[in-house]
Amino acid sequence: MTRQAIVAANWKMNGDSALVDNIVSGLANVKLSSHVDVVICPSFAYLSELNQKIKAAKLNEAIHVGSQNLSEHESGAFTGEISTAMLQDLAINYVIVGHSERRSIYKETSLQVAKKVNAALDAGLTPILCIGESEVERVTGETEAVLSAQIQPVIDEVGIDKFIDVVIAYEPVWAIGTGKTASSAMAQETHKFIRQFLAQQSELVSDKVPLLYGGSVNAANCEELFAQTDIDGGLIGGASLKAEQFKIICSAAKGK
């Protein structure tokens, strides 16, 4: 059984048309394992442009476009939101759900995140479900309890069987954009826990769900992180804005 490796770029509120061109041209000759998918998630304004340029460069077999967020609602008076139908119309394949910045800044609850995952799955989109603990929670030994409390509402909402179409990204909040990175051993230990937590309800699903690590992943540490048994790729922030670094990171993922 081979688990698909995924390297997903989260540009956050960064980038412009020049970055779109730079990243697409930079990935034109990247050598990817046959079991690796690359997902690039720009701001909403650049979803269509990025998708068109990836297709024009004939890179759409291995490189996909994802959204950084979606609404759990189908349509209506929700100013500033984006629906699954809109993402489908733009031929978007993936969507980041529950990023720690959405949880902390915009007060998204785990229940709301679960509803967003359900909406994505119903629309045929692949959700990248983000989970992670704060530095205080890590120090006080609450990591496993926090991650369980973030995953379980999603299982309750969609059922464990649907997790076969979910990607989980573990991002310790204390490592996002801080330059701090969990050691490869620490990251593997946490990913192993996540897989075991899923296995309590379905070993088949647990074996197939791609688990990504995020939190200051860069060209220098990606190979060691991706070599860990239960780490199948990464959700990349700052390094995904630099074409040369991102190419190295994409090349380091192999699939398991």
Which of 64, 72, 99, 108 is catalytic? The answer is 99
Strands 167-170 and 126-131: parallel
CA distance 244 to 77: 42
C-beta contacts of 224-231 below 8 A and 24+ residues apart: 224/184, 225/181, 225/184, 225/187, 226/5, 226/252, 226/253, 226/254, 227/184, 228/184, 228/187, 228/188, 228/191, 229/188, 229/192, 229/256, 230/188, 230/191, 230/192, 230/194, 230/195, 231/187, 231/188, 231/191
- Name the catalytic one among 101, 108, 171, 191: 171
Instruction: Please state, in angstroms and rounded to a whole number, the distance separating the CA atoms of residues 17 and 39.
Output: 17
Q: Does 137 participate in catalysis according to the annotation?
A: no
- Whether 171 sits among the annotated catalytic residues: the reply is yes
| Residue type present at position 203 | E
**CA-CA distances (angstroms) from residue 204 to 136, 232, 255?**
33, 16, 17
Could you give the residue numbers annotated as active site? Answer: 99, 171
